[in-house]
Structure 1
């Protein structure tokens, strides 16, 4: 008897699983807080070069002591053409004083009728070729909208702007390292202790980030937060999946991602009222201590306990499932189930590694395709999510739209994923996301509303595809390899996440190039997803033999996988007589 068949008897997603899943979903929302709070930490207020005293004195020389601020700006800050073809004051350069020192008089310039000498002087140097210099005294940042951000506090614009994208990339590089290690740690020490320890450390590092005295400390704290993220998120995601029966796995997976989107509302709510980034960081990370109550509420995965040979502990959890779900089964069902499970040998309790994912050519090709899809999904998802500021308009409204669209994205999955299957659904959403990104990139700036609309459509589709790949991956790999596989694939996703802030820099070559690039990558990954095996209504593979059998299944033919007649009869027999002769039992 398979554990999925046992859950079909006692409840695939009964009251017990629902209670645990509420706890898991709260963790999913917190994971979004860690990532998307960066948008508001690093928002750039309006700014310009700090005007040195020499420029003010020069302006007073020509305009008098009561010279207006506008006149001082005209003589100090050059006008440059912006990215959208609109002229604006430069935020990174001043007109060099040498322009004025070498031209102390207007010379032979013709002064128009009714124009003062000072105005003619200003006009001459606003149209002639000028030499510029970088801000010698740094920049002045407006506090009209934001009291303080890392950009204004650490002066991160112009020549220092690279530090913003670098710090974001370091968060995802930390997630990359964490993904590579979290699988082995979770499989070695268990889902529950891994979650609790990593969550406590996240609280400590989050407070450290809020108190960062310099950019180096801030960036280091982001790296550590990224490193810890997979330990608590992947552990509870896998735990929630392993508590659920095969018939409900899609719903539970989507609920997790919906709560990830809900986490963005938490971020924007606090960010709207807290405009100081340090205070905002404390508001984001301090509530993490509340997860300490999970010590008393969150149980260990019974699948993991059985895979490690800890039968007595698994028995307690399974009995609790039967009790809370109020399943009408004969006494001794759990004992009968466990009696049929042989105690795992040392070989079966050894922790799997990423090498086991590529030991055969079928595994290697499949794993490479999975990892590429994760990389592209993450690059497109975070490329859109972390750069909402570049869309223009209200940052808060854009952020809400980008977060809210994830709810219908995952809602649509519930309606179609079992009908179309994992593979076709993934193909549809990734190709549509790619087309939307390309269209958003090539539209003229005058169609601003359409640019935002297509970007939101792209975010909806890539969010949905992320939900599919997150569900498909653990469904394909066996229990002994599942969280290692999820961690490894997620690590490639972090490579894509780390690349996302750098890909946006392609706009320096051509404004639409970043969106065209991620769009083409999304379409390519969507086409390759057609080569995945279909897992809809399949049992979770428990060992490498079942995994290899799955990879040998037909690719371009969707099969319906139901419990066979013998399995159904076995379920009925167990309800009547759980103490019948032992049968083969899988975990």
Structure 2
């Protein structure tokens, strides 16, 4: 048991103030401790049953992490399915032509960098067969064109196109001839499928909050698999886009809902580690998909390969649990107790009388909450409740901005990535590997400095690295390594900020609205992320212009993060009143308060502190080792314990 000095107050002024204001709930006139104890009691029971025990490890490592690994296949497939061929040009209707000979029979065009290259969308308005008969050889045709090309008329490609298939055998572009006048169609298809993804976010949030995380996930997963297989047989481009748009509706729920289940079966001490593990699994999945795409060069087979693993995940129905917090929120007490007894048995713990007493107290608190709410004409919750109450509204707006900022910067940096060679497989591999150090950086400090201070550190470093590009000349080989280094630093820290921001979204929204709250921030962030490529495209003020914009967005994120309360070692809020009261008295001084352990998390159970991930290019090893018994306190919890 930790010693407490007599001259050290348990609560500082801010915490005492919070405690003094915690006597009643302005939303329901219910004592705040009743609301706060809902989540705290449940997490106390989980701690007594092993915390991050054998059951939780099995669910995380054998169910959730493999799902996230495969989810990267969903997100990565479009890049290779719609891959632009290395080169293309008008097909010349002559037999036995080599690529080099065919290109010599085409008009020449000047590029933006003043280099001259064959035309990709025009050919000479000639009867090449007649000229071949007159000249007698291909060399004669080439000489004829070279001597008279200034007097020849050009026309569009009459006989289709020839593609240099160096990087892929067949993609959407090559099969459906989406070049020249139809070159905008892949971009249009991307916008339409992205719109489908946006529609899927609120759909997943609504169904998960009203019908359960588990049932919603498997319904969406089944539809995703069926539509994915169907898209492999699309007879034309329009049919493919229609199927892909509908399929993409179910992509984001298949990503979000396993994350939500994992968060809701874990205790506070392990949630940061869990979030980092998911990010690492997703990144490694993207890297693995690069190898799959390298060996499968036909887009139809590649889509099937990116969909096939999810057939296996349908069997997880018999293993994956329903979220116990969701069961509690709808009053399914018997099902929740079955879950707790299953956890106790798997973890080698005893569901003893103290656990039963705590669970009985938990049921009584829910019954009391229901009784108090019954006289207030209760109605079903919706995402609008997130904007109804001042503190919850403030946190929702800040989280939404942070989601927009990290999505725009992350997407924009991907488009702004330095040229890493002409091989798209190598480029995709390297860009993916850059994200791993960012994820591991999160693991190293998020459970030591706290979520809020970690995000501030990331935004400060990201701002500095983005703005520093202004002082570096964009031309010249000597400065290119510096620009590359600054880009990698910015990418590393925005990846870390992305991971922590996503974790805080799950930790700040109440269980009854967690699905819809996550959906709200993701919808806005996902939509706004489309401006990232636009910012990169608008480089009219110089090559550093996009980095300046990203730096400004990151700088605003520093001050926005200071508004949020710290969530390290705090139980998840269960109800709207609890979420409204949590962190109501947060001030700027709290941002820099680190180093004291939360009393409700025993040092021996704080497993995330003992997990130190070590990155190599070959593997990622997670090892256990003892660390300092120092944790960031949760003021709301300490106030209630006082």
TM-score (norm 1): 0.82
Cα distance per residue 1:548-586 (max 9 Å; x no partner)? 222423231225685558x99xx9xxxxxxxxxxxxx99
Cα distance per residue 1:389-410 (max 9 Å; x no partner)? 9654322222112222222211
Select the residue among 471, 474, 488 that pairs with 1:443.
474
More helix by share: 1
Q: Which residue of 1 aligns with 2:313?
A: 291
Cα distance per residue 1:260-292 (max 9 Å; x no partner)? 111102211111111111111111101211011
* Structure 1, unpaired ranges of 5+: 57-64, 99-115, 572-584
Higher mean C-alpha deviation, range 501-510 or range 363-372: 501-510
Q: Which residue of 2 aligns with 1:6?
A: 45
- Residues 156 and 546 (structure 1 numbering): CA distance in 2 closer, same or farther, change over 3 Å? same
- Residues 381 and 68 (structure 1 numbering): CA distance in 2 closer, same or farther, change over 3 Å? closer
Q: Provide the rounded CA distance (Å) in 2 between the counterparts of 1:15 and 1:117.
A: 75
* Structure 2, unpaired ranges of 5+: 1-36, 128-139, 606-639
Tell me the CA shift for residue 168 of structure 1. 2.3
1:207 to 2:237 alignment: no
Select the residue among 535, 545, 553 that pairs with 2:585.
553
Q: Which residue of 2 aligns with 1:345?
A: 370
Tell me the CA shift for residue 530 of structure 1. 2.9
Select the residue among 570, 590, 602 that pairs with 1:538.
570
The 3-state SS of whatever aligns with 1:76 is coil
The 3-state SS of whatever aligns with 2:308 is helix
1:462 to 2:462 alignment: no
1:24 to 2:69 alignment: no
- Residues 216 and 331 (structure 1 numbering): CA distance in 2 closer, same or farther, change over 3 Å? same
| Pairing of 1:79-478 with structure 2 (within 5 A) | 79-82=109-112, 86-94=115-123, 122=146, 125=149, 133-327=155-349, 330-331=352-353, 333-334=355-356, 336-342=358-364, 343=367, 345=370, 351-385=380-414, 392-433=421-462, 436=465, 439=469, 443-444=474-475, 446=477, 452-478=484-510
Maintained 8 Å contact 1:168/1:501: no
Cα distance per residue 1:290-311 (max 9 Å; x no partner)? 0111111111111111111000
Q: Provide the rounded CA distance (Å) in 1 between the counterparts of 2:200 and 2:212.
A: 16
Aligned length: 540
Q: Which residue of 1 aligns with 2:130?
A: none
Q: Provide the rounded CA distance (Å) in 2 between the counterparts of 1:389 and 1:273.
A: 25
Q: Provide the rounded CA distance (Å) in 1 between the counterparts of 2:99 and 2:515.
A: 61
Maintained 8 Å contact 1:178/1:229: yes
Cα distance per residue 1:354-384 (max 9 Å; x no partner)? 1111113443333222112212322332344
Tell me the CA shift for residue 528 of structure 1. 2.7
The 3-state SS of whatever aligns with 2:120 is coil
- Residues 334 and 322 (structure 1 numbering): CA distance in 2 closer, same or farther, change over 3 Å? farther
Q: Provide the rounded CA distance (Å) in 2 between the counterparts of 1:400 and 1:430.
A: 25
Q: Which residue of 1 aligns with 2:634?
A: none
Q: Provide the rounded CA distance (Å) in 2 between the counterparts of 1:160 and 1:387.
A: 25
Q: Provide the rounded CA distance (Å) in 2 between the counterparts of 1:97 and 1:524.
A: 60
Higher mean C-alpha deviation, range 368-377 or range 426-435: 426-435
| Pairing of 1:507-522 with structure 2 (within 5 A) | 514=546, 516-522=548-554
CA RMSD for the aligned pairs? 3.6
- Residues 423 and 161 (structure 1 numbering): CA distance in 2 closer, same or farther, change over 3 Å? farther
Q: Provide the rounded CA distance (Å) in 1 between the counterparts of 2:292 and 2:413.
A: 21
Q: Provide the rounded CA distance (Å) in 2 between the counterparts of 1:67 and 1:215.
A: 29
TM-score (norm 2): 0.75
- Residues 340 and 418 (structure 1 numbering): CA distance in 2 closer, same or farther, change over 3 Å? closer
Tell me the CA shift for residue 165 of structure 1. 2.3
